Structure 1
Amino acid sequence: MTEDDRPHNPRVVVTHRLPAVIEARMAELFDTMLSPEDAAMDRATLTEAVANCDVLVPTLADQIDAALIDAAGPRLKLIANFGNGVDHIDLKAARAKGIIVTNTPGVLTQDAADMAMALLLSIPRRLVEGERRMRSGEWTGWRPTAMLGHRIHGKTLGIVGMGRIGQAIALRARGFGLSIRYHNRHRLPDVVERAVDATFCPDLDAMLGQADFISLNCPHNDETHHLLDRRRIAVMRPDAYLINIARGELVEERALVDALEAGTIAGAGLDVFAHEPAIDARLRALNNVVLLPHMASATIEAREETGNKVIANIRMWADGHRPPDQVLEGWV
């Protein structure tokens, strides 16, 4: 599609409710069909949408697979994802059909890092368990042996995936006296390692066996699916804690639950799950787990910044330019 062919007032379909200020701006700028309910579109509605729009604005809750892309009409030329992760979009199918895919990098970094640290603090100090006892009336007063947890200062944090979020976590963790090790596809430049005071570990298994805390911060793709499988979970120390704010599919969930039940790892802080919104019932019964409803990026600021990036990508595309956040070949 050339610049002259692109619609100046594109038909945009949004699959979920977005912040009101973002919806209002989209309605001003484009021929926008907003979602009437704050729930995922069913498959039939989504199929009808891609058949009749120029731009689709999905979220991670929508499966934009090859079959759906194949059903898209000739008008659909841009999938402007509301969010950074695009593992729910078949990028190969989109490229084959000439559809550009964009995402919204950078806007979630600080909020996600804050949540990772909140989980890191809450698990070993048993904050959620203590809060539950207070609300249930079980607390009978202070005792020297009651609600004992583990100190954070002086421990080692292993970060898997040292991108923007991983680096932001490292900077926060240093303030709590943690030493930082990281595993990444590629080693960071020396200047970045010095800035975050982190040591590169090329062997993931070795890092898993050394760290008191493991934080997962890498994208989900074919290479990282079940990156922490049963074998690697068994490598972790029995006093170690797992933190996952990235994607549930990075972990073999059944193996993780088995390890938590058996006490072969100390605990976990989970904001994401393998089969969202379904949660393994055994997880709910465990006191050594903190469970959150995929809310690491759930701030007003992050949602509005994400929406503004989506709008910017659509406007640049409609004006005949390459969108600033186009997802390129080899994205991970």
Structure 2
Amino acid sequence: MGDIGRDVARKLRVFDMKIIYYNRRQLAPELEKELEAEYIPTLQELLKRCDVLSINCPLTPETHHLISGPEFALMKHGSYLVNTARGPVIDEPALKEALISGKIKRAGLDVFENEPDIDPFFRTCEQVTIQPHYGGFSIGTIRKGEQLVLNNIRSFLETGKPLTAVNADQLN
């Protein structure tokens, strides 16, 4: 329930969905109240209770294949899954099995394990909606990007070096 998870929770409130979440740290009580969100202390308990799983975590060694066969087995039959995090957070062969069995009724995927080589199954499966890694594209990210560009230009004009040069090692 980082920045993206909180943004998702705010958007889902219009659908009158009960928001439950698992996170490394529980949110402050006032933020939980604002989001109308309930903290679930374990991922396993969250998986057993949720109807829609929205994954919004970073990819780390701990989150690689965070959702795999055992996790799908805990979920309700006919659950929905949305992954806008990173592709390798989900074990794709296990997701395919969950879709074929009906454990996962529908999946929305913004990211894939082997981008840009997407498993053809996901391109043709009627239960899967895919989009090009676009989940982080929002007015907020556009504004942050614009500000970064302006700050880079200012820095370059003032110091001769941008703040976030891709080729910093090549600059004199």
Q: What TM-score, normalized by structure 2, do the two folds share?
A: 0.83
In the alignment, which of 26, 29, 34 is matched to residue 190 of structure 1? 29
Q: Which moved more, 1:306-315 or 1:200-209?
A: 306-315
Q: Whole-Å Cα distance in 2 between the matches of residues 177 and 299 of structure 1? A: 23
Q: Mapping of 1:291-302 within 5 angstroms?
A: 291-298=130-137, 302=141
Please report how far the alpha carbon of residue 265 of structure 1 lies from its aligned counterpart in structure 2 after TM superposition: 1.6
- TM superposition shift of 1:298: 4.0
Q: Would the aligned equivalents of 1:216 and 1:245 in 2 still touch at CA under 8 Å?
A: yes
Q: In the TM superposition, what is the alpha-carbon distance from 1:260 to its structure 2 partner?
A: 0.5
Q: Mind listing any 5+ residue stretches in structure 1 that lack a counterpart?
A: 1-161, 324-332
Residue 129 of structure 2 corresponds to residue 290 of structure 1: yes
Higher helix share: 2
Aligned residue for 1:258? 97
User: Which residue identity lines up with residue 286 of structure 1 in the other structure?
Assistant: C
Q: Which residue of 2 aligns with 1:276?
A: 115
Structure-1 residue corresponding to 2:45: 206
Is the contact between residue 245 and residue 270 of structure 1 (CA under 8 Å) also seen in structure 2? yes
Alignment correspondent of 2:168: none
Structure 2 match to 1:180:
19
Matching residue within 67, 76, 83 for 1:228: 67
Give the aligned length.
159
- In the TM superposition, residue 314 of structure 1 has moved relative to its aligned partner by 8.0
TM-score for the superposition, normalised by structure 1: 0.44
Give CA deviations for 1:273-307 in whole Å, capped at 9, x if unaligned. Answer: 00111111111221111011112234687446315
Return the letter of the residue paired with 2:8: I
Query: Once the 2 structures are TM-superposed, how far is the Cα of residue 164 of structure 1 from its aligned partner?
Result: 1.0
Helix, strand or coil: the match of 2:76?
coil
The correspondence for 2:144, drawn from 283, 286, 305, is 305
Contact 1:261–1:286 under 8 Å retained in 2: no
Gaps of 5+ in 2: 164-172
Structure 1 stretches (4+) deviating beyond 3 angstroms? 297-305, 313-319
Question: Aligned pair 1:248/2:95, yes or no?
Answer: no
- Measured after TM superposition, the shift of residue 312 of structure 1 is 2.5
Aligned equivalents of 1:212 and 1:192: distance in 2? 23
Matches within 5 A, 1:74-89: none
Q: Say if 1:230 and 1:255, in contact at 8 Å, map to a contact too.
A: yes
CA shift at 1:313, angstroms?
6.1
Larger RCO (alpha carbons 8 Å, 6+ apart): 1
Please state whether the residue corresponding to 2:97 is helix, strand or coil: helix
- What SS is found at the alignment partner of 2:60? coil
Residue 85 of structure 1: aligned partner: none
Question: Is residue 226–residue 251 contact of structure 1 (8 Å, CA) maintained in 2?
Answer: yes
Amino acid in the other structure paired with 2:5: G
SS in 1 for 2:94: helix
Task: Call closer, same or farther: CA 1:301–1:168 in 2, change over 3 Å.
Answer: closer
Cα 1:278/1:309, change in 2 over 3 Å: same
Letter in 2 for 1:241: Y
Which one-letter code corresponds to 1:251 in the other structure?
Answer: I
Distance 1:315 1:282, change over 3 A: same
